[in-house]
Every structure is written in structure tokens, then in C-alpha cells.
Amino acid sequence: MARRIALVNNKGGVGKSTTTVRLAEALAKAGTRVLVIDMDPQGNASRRLGWAYDTENPQNTISEAIQADRPGSVADAVQPIGWDVEYASRMALVPARLELENRMSEAGVVGAWRRLAKGLEGADAHFDYTLIDCPPSLFHLTQLALAAADSVVIVTEPEYDSAEAAGRVRDFVAQRAIELANPDLELVGVIINGVQNLASHTDQLAGIRQTFDGLVWDPVVRHRSLIVDADGDEVPLTEIRGEKAGEVRATYELLAQNLVKAVPTR
């Protein structure tokens, strides 16, 4: 059974989707089988993995899988990613689109928060890791992810509001895991993204390391325009060129090693 990891922060724009996609890529390159679940109605991770909704032949997305409220329902929404690289064969996607917003209205329905956990039963058995890209809120869609996950990884920028939001995630996991019927849910790592040579970043980095005592993974991810380009062009990092391309690839490979160490495959 796959180890399920939710990538979370209670703030948008900190790099959750980028990190999900690039960790998945690095894990697949290293030989592991990775399923990415897009739990954000914005669908950014889906697009960056080269997926597009086909109005002529509509694919199932995570929204239909959750709506189905049936054990294993997610299997019907698993599909290939759109990249043309060898290791893409070890990656798969459960995409999202705006339609996922409609699942929000089910938040008050009895047991609705368990629907992703239920839908994943058996559906990710043939993957080593399931990475769940969460929306910036801690409300229903993220709670679905937290109820289904084994572990949480926080992604944060070294900035005040992002760090505070990261703290809210840690507290939420600590206080609500039992209520989500997932008492073993554990925060296993903090990835710091978008680091620049700024005094404020140096200060915030030190603060985050202190707050999350030992949970911060190294290396931190530097702010690199190559990352924006790769995300924008929907391409894997193996296809990016430029002075910093090697550094960017190596960063995610090392972070993927952190993940494997923190959450070994079963």
C-alpha cells in the first residue's frame, strides 16, 4: 500500500503544488511509483503535469471520485501524466478542476470527511507513494486529505505570514488528527521554498528551524525563475536548461531522499 503524504500550508502561493510535482518527479526518477492527487480546485498540479480536461471525452477527476462515496472510487480517476519522459511511466495523476469546489457543500454531510480515505482503499495499492496537493485552506478539502494521509509535509516560504500559517497546520494536525479518525497522522517534515539572499529570509529561516525543531528538510529550495518556467511550460525538470538547472534538480532529488527516509516505503 502506498504511503500517503499530504503537502499542506494554510497559505497560498508558497509552493505546495510546485513541491508536490517536483517531489513526485524526483521520486519517480529514483525508481519509485508515485500517484499525485490534486485536491485543489485550481488544478495547478494537474496542469503542470501536462494534464488537460478533454470536453469531448471527459475524464473522471477527484471530484467525481469523492462524490461517489464508495470504497476504491479513486481508481476510476487515476490517469497518466502528460510528460514525455521515461520515468513518467512510474507517475500517475488523479486530477482536479474547478468542479471540485462543489464538494465543499458536502462538508456537513455525515462522514463526508472520510470520502477520500474510503475512495483510496485499494486504489493506490500499486504505488509506493501517494502525494496529495492540498488547497491553502484547512477546511473540508484539506480535511479529506488529512483523514486519508499517513503523514504531513508542510511547505513554507521563509516569510512571516507563511511561517505563521505553517504553525497553524502543525497545531491543526496535533489537535484534530483524532477527530479525523486518524490519530497516527504525523507531521514528518517542513520544506522551505523560495529562499532569497535577504536579511528577512535569513531571520525567518532561523525562526522556522527553531519552531520546527529538527523537522526542516535540507536543502532549502532557492527562488529560481527556472522553476516558474518549468511550471508554466508544463515540463519536467529534466527538460530545463540554464545555469541553475542542475542545482534545481539536485535540490528536489535530495528532498525526495528526505521523504523516503522520513516515510520509508512499505
Name the residues that contact ligand ADP, by CB under 6 A.
12-18, 44, 193-194, 221, 223-224, 227-228, 231
Q: Which is nearer to Mg ion, 75 or 138 (CB)?
A: 138
- For residue 220, give the nearest of 260, 257, 191 by alpha carbon: 191
Closest among 149, 143, 191 to 166, alpha carbons compared: 191
When the beta carbons of 10 and 73 are compared against ligand ADP, the nearer one is 10
Residue 23: exposure state from Cβ atoms within 10 A (0-12, 13-18, ≥19): buried
- The listed partner (Mg ion, ligand ADP, none) that binds 15, CB under 5 to 8 Å by sort, is ligand ADP
Site for Mg ion, residues 10 to 39, rule: CB under 5 A: 16-17
Backbone phi and psi for residue 110, each to the nearest 5 degrees, phi listed first: -55, 125
Residue 246 binding partner per list Mg ion, ligand ADP, none, with a CB distance cut-off of 5 to 8 Å that depends on partner kind: none
Cβ closest to ligand ADP, residue 68 vs residue 235: 235
User: In whole angstroms, how far apart are CA 32 and each of 68, 87, 92, 125, 239?
Assistant: 29, 9, 12, 13, 20
Partner whose binding site includes residue 259, from ligand ADP, Mg ion, none (CB under 5 to 8 Å by kind) = none
Of ligand ADP, Mg ion, none, which one sits near residue 64, judging by CB under 5 to 8 A according to partner kind? none
Q: Which of 32, 44, 61, 193 binds Mg ion (CB under 5 A)?
A: 44
Question: By three-state DSSP, how is residue 40 classified?
Answer: coil
